[in-house]
């Protein structure tokens, strides 16, 4: 019999969108000095780099960015700027500073990388450690007097990096397939998320810019994950709740790598198929617009929704200038006297108790 050949047609493998992981490290020197006995900053960065390497090992299209939230500014740790003061030629048409990525660093590097380490991992490690050393060396005594961590600036830098990567990938996809229909409800071309490693308390003065960054992340479908090693991260709890992120309160800071690898390694797409760790309670307290204090109960403007810890002067909103009326706030409530219960009357003038029966109790 003639042999029948069966041809099989294989469908081309679908390419998954790249995943961009942005890590924000709180580098507050005072907070890390208080945590030195359990976890040092260098150990935390080493554990974070292992987490970064695991993320990059999942796919060769994955990307990473590391940002330091310092006491007075937010600094890029990776990718680092090409120079401290870039010339005019180093800026693109939009005015953005060109960042030096792994490929450029590898080509421009004169020394050969170590044969015992993957070149991309070695370049990221070198960039992060050199940048953090420069940051700590530039920190002055006057900077240590400030206790505010620029978390909002670091979140803004991470969102700008995510937006730039999404635009670059969207432009390349449009060039390759111009005839493809445009779907406005399509997911973003890059699976992006932000991981914040926090060691300090939430600063009330940073509430408004932090919430603006959180709302922008929620609008762009960017999840914000947080692992709090120390301090009261009130605003970060709200950030994780509003962006469908994960909030972890580390009871033992020495297990930072365990928290990162087992709790925060899956991206937003993989979390749909697994059970992610959840935080029991969320602190929804806010900071007032007048003094920057975290309050439980306050006064809310009915026009711009500004929150005040006490009635503003002349009942005028400090944000929009609307004259508000407090009504009967502070007045004593009206007390209604309780009605006295009427006593039951004795039926027919007899001394027996009224039982509701027409006949009396028979005598023996």
Q: What is the pLDDT of residues 178-237, one digit of tens each?
A: 544 545 445 567 889 999 999 988 888 788 889 899 999 999 999 999 999 998 888 899
What are phi and psi for residue 338, nearest 5 degrees?
-75, 140
Confidence of residue 82 (pLDDT cuts 50, 70, 90): low
- H-only helix segments in the chain: 29-34, 41-58, 102-108, 119-138, 141-144, 151-176, 207-219, 234-242, 256-263
- Please provide the CATH number assigned to the domain covering 19-84+96-171+188-283: 3.40.50.410
The pLDDT of residue 144 is above 70: yes
pLDDT at 63: 93
**Are 98 and 90 in contact, with CB atoms under 8 Å apart?**
yes
pLDDT at 51: 96
53-79 pLDDT tens trace: 999 999 888 999 999 999 888 999 999
pLDDT at 231: 85
Confidence of residue 10 (pLDDT cuts 50, 70, 90): very low
Backbone Cα Rg of the chain = 31
The pLDDT of residue 101 is above 80: no
**Bridging pattern class, strands 223-228 and 247-249:** parallel
Name the nearest CA neighbour of 205 among 150, 156, 247: 150
pLDDT at 275: 86
Confidence of residue 269 (pLDDT cuts 50, 70, 90): confident
Gap between the Cα atoms of 225 and 194, Å rounded: 6
Residues for the chain: how many in total? 364
Gap between the Cα atoms of 156 and 216, Å rounded: 9
Average model confidence (pLDDT) across the chain: 79
**Are 123 and 113 in contact, with CB atoms under 8 Å apart?**
yes
pLDDT at 18: 86
Gap between the Cα atoms of 325 and 322, Å rounded: 10
277-329 pLDDT tens trace: 877 677 777 778 787 777 888 888 888 778 888 888 787 887 788 887 777 77
The 8 Å CB, 24+ separation contacts for 136-139 are 136/27, 136/29, 139/29, 139/70, 139/71
CA angle, 57 as apex, 55 and 63 as ends, to 5°?
55
Q: Extract the tokens encoding 269.
A: 């797409």
pLDDT at 345: 66
Provide the residue ranges of all domains of the chain, joining segments of one domain with +: 19-84+96-171+188-283, 285-328
């Amino acid at each position: 019999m003639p042999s029948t050949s069966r041809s099989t047609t294989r469908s081309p493998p679908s390419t998954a969108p790249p995943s961009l992981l942005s890590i924000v490290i709180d580098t507050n020197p005072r907070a890390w000095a208080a945590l030195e006995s359990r976890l040092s900053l260098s150990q935390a960065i080493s554990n974070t780099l292992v987490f970064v390497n695991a993320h990059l090992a999942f796919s060769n299209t994955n990307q990473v960015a590391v940002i330091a939230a310092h006491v007075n500014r937010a600094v890029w740790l990776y990718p680092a700027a090409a120079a401290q003061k870039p010339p005019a030629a180093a800026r693109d048409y939009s005015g953005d500073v060109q960042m030096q990525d792994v490929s450029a660093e590898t080509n421009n590097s004169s020394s050969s990388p170590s044969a015992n380490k993957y070149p991309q991992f070695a370049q990221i490690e070198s960039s992060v450690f050199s940048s953090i050393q420069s940051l700590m060396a530039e920190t002055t005594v006057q900077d240590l007097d400030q206790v505010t961590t620029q978390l909002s600036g670091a979140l803004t830098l991470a969102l700008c990096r995510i937006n730039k990567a999404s635009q670059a990938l969207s432009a390349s996809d449009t060039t390759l397939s111009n005839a493809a229909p445009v779907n406005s409800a399509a997911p973003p071309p890059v699976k992006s998320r932000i991981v914040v490693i926090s060691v300090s308390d939430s600063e009330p003065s940073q509430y408004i810019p932090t919430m603006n960054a959180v709302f922008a992340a929620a609008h762009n479908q960017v999840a914000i994950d947080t692992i709090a090693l120390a301090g009261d991260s009130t605003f970060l709890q709200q950030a994780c709740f509003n962006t469908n992120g994960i909030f972890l309160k580390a009871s033992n800071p020495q297990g930072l790598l365990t928290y990162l690898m087992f709790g925060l390694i899956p991206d937003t797409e993989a979390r749909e198929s697994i059970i992610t760790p959840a935080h029991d309670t969320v602190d929804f307290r806010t900071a007032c617009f007048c003094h920057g204090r975290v309050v439980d109960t306050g006064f809310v403007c009915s026009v711009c929704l500004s929150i005040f810890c006490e009635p503003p002067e002349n009942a005028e909103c400090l944000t929009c200038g609307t004259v508000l009326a407090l009504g009967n706030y502070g007045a004593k409530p009206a007390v209604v006297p309780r009605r006295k219960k009427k006593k039951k009357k004795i039926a027919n003038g007899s001394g027996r108790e009224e039982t509701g029966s027409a006949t009396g109790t028979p005598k023996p």
